[in-house]
Amino acid sequence: MRVGQGFDCHRLVPGRPLVLGGVTIPHERGLEGHSDGDALLHAVADALLGALGDGDLGQHFGTQDPALAGAASGALLRRVAERVRVAGLRIGNLDATVIAEAPRLAPHLEAMRAALAECLKADPARVNVKVTSSDGLGSVGRGEGIAAQAVVLLEDA
């Protein structure tokens, strides 16, 4: 078995759609980034790469790559999930937490979980997404951005 963890944080800016966990969520601001800024998918991808001992997302998909400008992070995560399969491993379970002050994400948790499981070709029962706020503290608490963290356990396929 192999364990990996990932963390990511993106700034909230006007004029962009808010995409989290592969789901577009109605909000007046979206996450800034070279790709769609999906902090949850980036944290999950980094957790998978960590478990593989295979570096991080930035090493595989650099921000200098013009082909990735505005890219759906789901496409990047699918490529990372493929590396897991090539290594002869599968997801034992995945647990992720999104830290956001607004918007209210609870109504979107099931959609994020389903999108994540589909992206990873994993059993949805082995994928968990939680959401919390930082109780008004710090930059995330002031609504300046959204953070996500993820832990994954990989096992022999």
Q: List residues binding Zn ion (CB under 5 A).
A: 8, 42
Work out how close the CB of 141 gets to Zn ion at its nearest, in angstroms, rounded to a whole number.
19
* Residue whose beta carbon is closest to Zn ion: 42
Question: Residues 29, 13: contact at Cβ < 8 Å?
Answer: yes
Minimum CB distance to Zn ion smaller for 16 or for 90: 16
Work out how close the CB of 8 gets to Zn ion at its nearest, in angstroms, rounded to a whole number.
4
Minimum CB distance to Zn ion smaller for 122 or for 147: 147
Minimum CB distance to Zn ion smaller for 29 or for 42: 42
Work out how close the CB of 23 gets to Zn ion at its nearest, in angstroms, rounded to a whole number.
16
Residue 114's Cβ-count burial label (10 Å; 0-12, 13-18, 19+) is middle
Work out how close the CB of 25 gets to Zn ion at its nearest, in angstroms, rounded to a whole number.
16
Helix locations, the chain, DSSP H: 39-52, 57-60, 73-86, 109-120, 138-141
Minimum CB distance to Zn ion smaller for 27 or for 42: 42
157 CB contacts (<8 Å, ≥6 apart)?
Answer: 85, 88, 89, 90
Cis peptide before 14 (omega within 30 of 0): no
